[in-house]
Copies of this chain bind each other. A is one copy, B any other.
Amino acid sequence: MPHKLDLGDLDASFSGRLLTDPSDLAPFLTDWRRKWTGRAQAVAQPDTTDDVAAIVRWCAARGVPMVPQGGNTSLSGGSVPDQSGAALVLSLVRLNRIRSVDPQNNTLVAEAGCLLSEVQRCAADAGRLFGLSLAAEGSCTIGGNLATNAGGTATLLYGNAREQCLGIEVVTPAGEVWNGLKALRKNNTGYDLRDIYIGAEGTLGVITAAVLRLHPKPGGRALGFVALESLPQANALLDISRNRVSNRLSAFELVSETCLGSVLRHHPAQRHPLARRYPWYALIEVSDVEGFEQASLALNRLLQDASERDIVCDGVIADSLGQVSALWALRENISEAQGREGPTIKHDIALPISSIPGFVESTMATIAQRWPSIRLFIFGHLGDGNLHYNASPAPGMDHTAFLMLEPELNQFVHDAVYAANGSISAEHGLGVLRREEAARYATPIELELQRAIKRALDPHNIMNPGKVIFPGFAGGSLS
């Protein structure tokens, strides 16, 4: 147990809330997936950027490690403290103002603790669209989205969180404020400090606010659900889609029959949209600024083209908002349905799109042979090369035995990912879940460059220690 600090002077140093009661702390100490529970000295909830700076200075002076936290929805354990009890959790949920909206510049400035759904709503109120969209949008914060460079279903059109951010405000580990809130699309006046902090998972400083890009609101969206015999067909359909509708293609999601079957099994109210089952399905969404009719026309034409070339076996185009929701629900309920099949081993991988068919075919074959009692749930954002390559126990398999396979299954899948020049963390970050693997797969020069950056910007390793590729604060010093 670390030395207990006198928190009274910390409490006096900022406006906002300081939580110290164990029952108040609890929700901040366990992650979203309930895989990690840590301990902390306290949870500080500052009201302003200056409050954040005051808290950080207080911690820096005492060597107290800090764990920045937004909506605590990390899937990789990135937002909870370790078990040493040394850390202060820096919860940014009260830093939740939209500072300004500039529709003519297509930007808004949001504080880190704004919910993603609130940012979306403010953009919509200004007649614009904020392009980041993901399952946790009602709970996650924009600060967390930027700290982890979140992805989601609209990445194909609008990019990751990184591409949707023009500028940021950061509190450094010394408690200084860097105001990088430039609402500019072109700016070459020195090093790209912004992108060093985006995706750094709070290990270099605390993002307190951001300038976000807005886009015109699509006038309408058309959604198709199609059947595919194989993954090469899925790639061929993606290719046709891009070439026919270009940047009106707003989603291209892949769903395996195993995934769809599980969703239908656990959600009896949902129905299979087609007359029979196929190995793979794709959800294709076309957005058009002019309206639904144009989007629908473009989608129809491209599917007709694909059908004439025997790429698509069967399909349906949503003809009502209700059907749009029903089709999207088939994709969105996969994670939840898979959770009902027992424990889950998840892989959030990215590959060059051209490599995906070969990768999936060869890894599925090996897994079927080596671990016949594992069922694979493969789905995700094929349009940007990001697959959720998940595993569940086959019916009847012992759950503990299944979970014992996790290290070797991870290694098998991730070795194959690296062999294909892919990524073992496409959109979920490293957190603690992938820290050791990421450090193992990184080349020596990659480790050296990252350590050099960390040493330069957080020399005392007090910002979110033990995350990304770095050792925990309690566990040792930064080498």
Tell me, yes or no, whether A200 is within 8 Å of chain B by CB. yes
Q: Determine the distance from Cα of A20 to Cα of B354 in the docked complex, in whole angstroms.
A: 46
Q: How far is the CB of A351 from chain B (nearest CB, A)?
A: 7
Q: How far is the CB of A435 from chain B (nearest CB, A)?
A: 10
Q: Determine the distance from Cα of A183 to Cα of B104 in the docked complex, in whole angstroms.
A: 34
Contacts of A289 in B (CB 8 A): 243-246
CB of A176 within 8 A of CB of B423, answer no
Tell me, yes or no, whether A456 is within 8 Å of chain B by CB. yes
Tell me, yes or no, whether A118 is within 8 Å of chain B by CB. no
Number of identical protomers: 2
Stretch at the interface among A332-340, A367-375, A439-447: A439-447
CB of A423 within 8 A of CB of B456, answer no
CB of B443 within 8 A of CB of A188, answer no
Residue ID in chain B nearest A186 by CB atoms:
B426
Contacts of A216 in B (CB 8 A): 242-243, 246
Tell me, yes or no, whether A239 is within 8 Å of chain B by CB. yes
CB of A188 within 8 A of CB of B455, answer no
Contacts of A200 in B (CB 8 A): 191-192
Please tell me which one of the listed residues B172, B242, B381, B454 contacts residue A106 in the complex, with CB atoms under 8 A apart.
Answer: B242
Contacts of A469 in B (CB 8 A): 190
Tell me, yes or no, whether A316 is within 8 Å of chain B by CB. no
Stretch at the interface among A2-10, A28-36, A41-49, A155-163: A155-163
CB of A434 within 8 A of CB of B189, answer yes
Contacts of A188 in B (CB 8 A): 148-149, 199, 423, 425-430
Tell me, yes or no, whether A403 is within 8 Å of chain B by CB. no
Tell me, yes or no, whether A468 is within 8 Å of chain B by CB. yes
Q: Which of A172, A183, A441 has the most CB of B within 10 A?
A: A183
Q: What is the 8 Å Cβ interface bit string for chain A, positions 178-209, against chain B (1 contact, 0 not)?
A: 11111111111111110110111000100000
Q: Determine the distance from Cα of A353 to Cα of B468 in the docked complex, in whole angstroms.
A: 37
Q: Determine the distance from Cα of A438 to Cα of B189 in the docked complex, in whole angstroms.
A: 6
**Given that A162-B192, A192-B195, A455-B456 are known contacts, is A183 also in contact with B468, CB under 8 Å in the complex?**
no
**Given that A216-B242, A445-B178 are known contacts, is A352 also in contact with B189, CB under 8 Å in the complex?**
no
Residue ID in chain B nearest A157 by CB atoms:
B247
Q: Determine the distance from Cα of A107 to Cα of B352 in the docked complex, in whole angstroms.
A: 9
Tell me, yes or no, whether A406 is within 8 Å of chain B by CB. no
Q: How far is the CB of A113 from chain B (nearest CB, A)?
A: 21
Q: Determine the distance from Cα of A176 to Cα of B448 in the docked complex, in whole angstroms.
A: 11
Residue ID in chain B nearest A166 by CB atoms:
B352
Residue ID in chain B nearest A156 by CB atoms:
B185
Q: Determine the distance from Cα of A445 to Cα of B155 in the docked complex, in whole angstroms.
A: 33
Q: Determine the distance from Cα of A353 to Cα of B105 in the docked complex, in whole angstroms.
A: 5
CB of A442 within 8 A of CB of B162, answer no
Tell me, yes or no, whether A97 is within 8 Å of chain B by CB. no
**Given that A186-B427, A289-B243, A385-B186 are known contacts, is A193 also in contact with B449, CB under 8 Å in the complex?**
yes
Residue ID in chain B nearest A127 by CB atoms:
B243
CB of A187 within 8 A of CB of B350, answer yes
Residue ID in chain B nearest A192 by CB atoms:
B195
Q: How far is the CB of A418 from chain B (nearest CB, A)?
A: 10
Tell me, yes or no, whether A394 is within 8 Å of chain B by CB. no
Contacts of A105 in B (CB 8 A): 352-355, 385
**Given that A104-B239, A178-B449, A216-B243 are known contacts, is A151 also in contact with B426, CB under 8 Å in the complex?**
no
Sample of 20 further A-B pairs with CB below 8 A, known A172-B445, A187-B426, A195-B196 = A102-B354, A104-B354, A106-B353, A148-B188, A155-B186, A162-B192, A172-B449, A178-B445, A182-B422, A183-B421, A186-B381, A186-B385, A187-B423, A189-B423, A191-B196, A191-B454, A192-B196, A192-B198, A244-B289, A247-B248
Give me the interface of A with B, judged by CB distance under 8 Å: 102-107, 127, 148-149, 151, 155, 159-160, 162-163, 172, 176-193, 195-196, 198-200, 204, 215-216, 218, 235, 239, 242-248, 289-290, 350-355, 381, 384-386, 421-430, 434, 438, 441-443, 445-446, 449-450, 452-457, 468-469
Q: Which 6 A-B pairs have the closest CB atoms?
A: A456-B456, A195-B195, A246-B289, A186-B426, A104-B354, A187-B423
13 CB contacts below 8 A, A to B, read A103-B239, A105-B385, A149-B192, A172-B449, A178-B445, A179-B443, A186-B384, A186-B423, A187-B423, A188-B430, A191-B468, A216-B243, A243-B289
